[in-house]
Structure 1
């Protein structure tokens, strides 16, 4: 159900672009969005469950995810008028994005008393911990940088859609590499996801040929 609701965030992002930025999406883009939601439903229909608190948090997550993509796109566009160079590069965006998240991170660390745990944990004396945490930081920085670059080159809707579509090859790889048993529902889900990718790719190719 998590995947189903996360795909709803793509619809919110596309709708937000249409409403706030007056960006008109091709019909095939909307078809792709609907196919992705149907694909997620087909994959998650065997383990649907309801919990009011969980649904509330997930719906909030959908709105925040869509808001993040749209706000970031707006900031990138606004930077063209606000900066002398008429541009805000990816490194600057990553730096600002992480600096702005520091106050919230500090509040959460203090609120959940993580400082005391950090000082007492034996993990700090393990070289492997530092290796893994450093690698995690480097990979996180790389993800932030590539995300900023991708969003700068394209639209918020494309950014969200590609982020969802990449789960399809991961699902196929998991089935093939780890011999995961799959059901008819999961197979239909993957097929619909691939079909959604085809519709979206065709829509982008058509837009590029017309521009």
Structure 2
């Protein structure tokens, strides 16, 4: 009877182990799904909130110092990242002179990208900004073709063509059309595309001059924002924002400083949540969610800021957003 009892116990033990393995596996899958969902939601909320709060500061408060807003947001990012690095929560590379020299051209484009985004957002409604940003994808695709000899399939080119059509039709039917705002947004598209293309070339060189031979996302955030501070101060003087800042009563409002600080925290939150979401899912899901994220952002921008629109303009915006989703899906298939 002893051997029989032993075998029965072994079988029972085996069933329990299998059940335990199934439970552990299901918990792990559930945890991964929850992480992906939570990170995706955090990324969407932070990116939408950042654009809307910038629009609120520049338009609703009628704040005419976009460079100063950019500088304050970058200063908030530097303070938070430096504190997290000092406490050992994250790891960042030390800023050496060799690294600064390599990264400086990228940073100049980065600052120009942020400033032109501020200037365009002051004059153009959020929905049209999201549609016009699609032009960046067209410029980037052409840059990849000429600089890196990368060829795109017919689906990608079809999506890019739809983006151009939607941008043109959106501009023609825009009731609140502002030529200066559109000009700034066009410059922003060129700078954003240049930033992504230049970053690819500089990245490998930058890694070689770091002490660890690597450059993580936190180090890039700290590097970009730190180098932008002296350049931002210079541009504030060049664009004569000092005189405006000394006269505006907004800087005496505690609520205005609270909104400004919140925008800086959200700017950093986008960097963290995008990295988190990218690690939990992948580049294809990240790009698709980023395109889908523009739809609620555009609707929120129209409703919150009571943007005057027409049926034709709304159709152009919706058409442009769908073209963005179509582009993301085409890129996913191209990668696969």
Q: From the superposition, tell whether residues 100 and 177 of structure 1 become closer, same or farther in structure 2 (CA, over 3 Å).
A: closer
Residues 1:13 and 2:134 are matched in the alignment: no
Distance 2:178 2:305 in 1: 30
Higher gyration radius (CA): 2
Q: From the superposition, tell whether residues 187 and 151 of structure 1 become closer, same or farther in structure 2 (CA, over 3 Å).
A: same
Aligned residue runs from structure 1 range 1-211, under 5 A: 3=129, 6-47=133-174, 59-83=186-210, 85-115=212-242, 118=245, 123-145=250-272, 154=283, 166-174=293-301, 183-208=310-335, 210=336
Is the 2:156–2:327 Cα contact (8 Å) retained in structure 1?
yes
Distance 1:65 1:13 in 2: 9
Gaps of 5+ in 1: none
Q: CA RMSD in A?
A: 4.1
Q: From the superposition, tell whether residues 59 and 206 of structure 1 become closer, same or farther in structure 2 (CA, over 3 Å).
A: closer
TM-score (norm: length of structure 2): 0.48
Distance 2:300 2:178 in 1: 29
Q: From the superposition, tell whether residues 86 and 149 of structure 1 become closer, same or farther in structure 2 (CA, over 3 Å).
A: farther
Distance 2:271 2:265 in 1: 10
Distance 2:133 2:252 in 1: 38
Q: From the superposition, tell whether residues 164 and 64 of structure 1 become closer, same or farther in structure 2 (CA, over 3 Å).
A: farther
TM-score (norm: length of structure 1): 0.70
Gaps of 5+ in 2: 1-123
Distance 2:178 2:309 in 1: 23
Is the 2:174–2:309 Cα contact (8 Å) retained in structure 1?
no
Is the 1:94–1:145 Cα contact (8 Å) retained in structure 2?
no
Is the 1:31–1:196 Cα contact (8 Å) retained in structure 2?
no
